[in-house]
Structure 1
Amino acid sequence: MRRLVVALCVLLFCLTITNSTAIARDVLRFGVITLNHPLVMYRHYLPFTDYLAKRLGIEIELVLAADYQGIVDAMAEERVDIALLAGVSYLKVQETTATRLICAVRSQEGTPTSRSAIVVRADRQDIRSLHELKGHSFAFGSKDSTSSYLGPLGYLVKHGITPEDFSHWQNFRTHDAVIRALLRGKVDAGAVSKEALAKFPAESLKVLAITPQLPGFVLVSTANVPEALHARLQTLLLNLNYQDPELASSLERWSPMLRAGFTGVDESHYAPVQKLMQELEAQGFYGDKR
């Protein structure tokens, strides 16, 4: 009798675990980095997740990570199932978490890449070229940002300008914070993505340089997402029908970053980012040697 009771308990435990897993798979947790006010993030991403949920027939929960490291931790700790990542964050996730690429986000130029802008306030007549940045203050975005730190830093170093050439330099949490600091005169120059720059009046800022393309954002899933669901999501995003009235109605409410659509990429997509990181680390301008 005791053996029967133990066997029934073990069976019940296994059924509970199986059922819990099935319930968990009924909700797909989608993680994004909070780069704006949380209300803005919800307004930009809930229409996207609602559209996916309806098409996939599964509930999708939007999870906002506080910062770049937050999304890396959320994936490692299995608090999200899929995530929107770029450059440095993607490479850091790969070190801790088994992931599968879903697709890349197309930029407004139609490529799975992004460019950065090095800018000053429009009324700064004393700064008209990159080399006139020397001796002035400079603002980058987060140290984990590809398009407002790694990419622009690499571009400046390539053109003979190192952080030591600035009177002082600092990192801000977001691209928008960099631009606001510029407009308020707190810093003389800064680096942001072209997408962030487009949100501010063109006449208020002067562009000194546009960097070469680097890989942009990608969507990835963790190993917890069933392969069949991963494949359905990938197929859905890569085959969006822009003539569909339902999609058109939803699309205009998505984050501007997502409206140009998606394209396929493989694991080699972020090789240029890895290479740039290694080059700057070897020169002592990035990572632990910085």
Structure 2
Amino acid sequence: MSDSKEKLRLVTYLSPGIPVEIFETLMNYLEEVTGRDAYLRYESRWPGPPADRTDPFTDNEVDIGFMESSDYLRLIEHGNKFIEVCGAGAVHVHPKNSGRAVYYSDIIINARNKLKYKELHDLRGHTFGYSSGKSISASICMLEQLKKLGFNASFFGNLYESGSHLASIKNVLDSQVDVAAVDSNVLAGFLRAHPYYKDDLCVITSLGPLPTYPIVLNTRLSGEVRSQITKALLDMNKSTKWTSQLQRQGISGFVSIDSSLYDLEKDLVSAIGKLSMSSTYY
């Protein structure tokens, strides 16, 4: 019987919106690089560790977590001493991205309305779809944009909370809503999986940039292992094998980041003040 290897325990909170194949690729790559037996847990109920449960880093159940930035910032704000952000951030392919570890909020309409709705102003009084009131790409970005234009959520005639970015995309396709704000990577992944819908959707503008989803490391991993993981991700595009897999999934590589990247989100949240998708302010 061979000696058991050390484990590398990963969890993603980002699927199914972000295709799970991305995290499977990263799991396989990090297994190869670290020599550890890697395992991936898939948690689709929440975008990050839920606030009413003990998080898996505190319970020492995971080594690496992929989550939305809002949940990472909440854990940091609450003084979680078992987490740190990995110093490598994914560069997501997008027409507006020029090599930064960011993504965008794509504002989409049904393509049959593209002559009628050419810009955000054309959608005043219409039905707006969004995944949740807490989503940075679905709600916070739009509220900040509306505030810049001198409006609030009452700019739209109706608001429809879909529950997920994928549901918002389908609502636009079904004409249940006139416009929706969705995570640009969820949209890209949806169109890779369903290319026949490409001509049915139109992006009228993109808001952002927004900080890439943090890769959160358990500080119980040794400093050497954490550095090895960070360096491995930064070097991933040096391998033709792994670069081709990343590019098929809409990632061009990884670049160095630190926690200051997430000031982008803090600034957005600060900018909207008390505005929300469910309230009107006069």
| TM-score, normalization by structure 2 | 0.80
Which residue in 2 is equivalent to 1:179? 169
Pick aligned residue for 1:247 from 237, 242, 245: 242
Pick aligned residue for 1:209 from 192, 195, 205: 205
Q: Map Cα deviations across residues 257-278 of structure 1 (whole Å, 9 max, x no partner).
A: 5x31111112211112112112
Question: Is the CA contact (8 Å cut-off) linking 1:115 and 1:194 kept in structure 2?
Answer: yes
* Comparing 189-198 and 140-149, the one that deviates more: 140-149
1:48 has 2:48 as partner? no
- Report the Cα distance in structure 2 between the residues aligned to 1:112 and 1:253, rounded to whole angstroms: 14
- Report the Cα distance in structure 1 between the residues aligned to 2:29 and 2:165, rounded to whole angstroms: 28
Which residue in 2 is equivalent to 1:80? 62
Which residue in 2 is equivalent to 1:235? 231
Identity of aligned residues (%): 21
Question: Is the CA contact (8 Å cut-off) linking 2:153 and 2:277 kept in structure 1?
Answer: no
SS in 1 for 2:233: helix
Question: Is the CA contact (8 Å cut-off) linking 1:26 and 1:59 kept in structure 2?
Answer: yes
Q: 1:207 to 1:254 in 2, by over 3 A?
A: closer
TM-superposed CA distance for 1:226, in Å, is 1.7
- Report the Cα distance in structure 1 between the residues aligned to 2:279 and 2:37, rounded to whole angstroms: 41
Which residue in 2 is equivalent to 1:263? 255
TM-superposed CA distance for 1:184, in Å, is 0.6
Which residue in 2 is equivalent to 1:94? 76
Which residue in 2 is equivalent to 1:32? 12
Alignment of 1:187-226 (within 5 A): 187-198=177-188, 199-200=190-191, 201-226=197-222
Pick aligned residue for 2:110 from 121, 135, 150: 121
1:151 has 2:161 as partner? no
Letter in 2 for 1:30: L
Q: Map Cα deviations across residues 199-239 of structure 1 (whole Å, 9 max, x no partner).
A: 43442122222213121222120222221110111111112
Question: Is the CA contact (8 Å cut-off) linking 2:15 and 2:43 kept in structure 1?
Answer: no
Which residue in 1 is equivalent to 2:90? 105
Q: 1:137 to 1:104 in 2, by over 3 A?
A: same
- Report the Cα distance in structure 2 between the residues aligned to 1:75 and 1:277, rounded to whole angstroms: 26
SS in 2 for 1:217: coil
SS in 1 for 2:220: coil
TM-superposed CA distance for 1:78, in Å, is 3.5
Q: 1:176 to 1:165 in 2, by over 3 A?
A: same
SS in 1 for 2:31: helix
Question: Is the CA contact (8 Å cut-off) linking 1:136 and 1:188 kept in structure 2?
Answer: yes
- Rg (Cα) greater in structure: 1
TM-superposed CA distance for 1:94, in Å, is 1.3
Which residue in 2 is equivalent to 1:12? none
SS in 1 for 2:40: strand
Letter in 2 for 1:155: Q
1:277 has 2:269 as partner? yes
Aligned residues: 260
SS in 2 for 1:49: helix
Question: Is the CA contact (8 Å cut-off) linking 1:148 and 1:192 kept in structure 2?
Answer: yes
Consecutive unaligned residues in structure 1, runs of 5 or more:
1-22
Q: 1:247 to 1:127 in 2, by over 3 A?
A: closer
SS in 2 for 1:213: strand
- Report the Cα distance in structure 2 between the residues aligned to 1:288 and 1:264, rounded to whole angstroms: 39
| TM-score, normalization by structure 1 | 0.78
Letter in 2 for 1:247: W
Letter in 2 for 1:105: A
Q: 1:149 to 1:240 in 2, by over 3 A?
A: same
Which residue in 1 is equivalent to 2:194? none
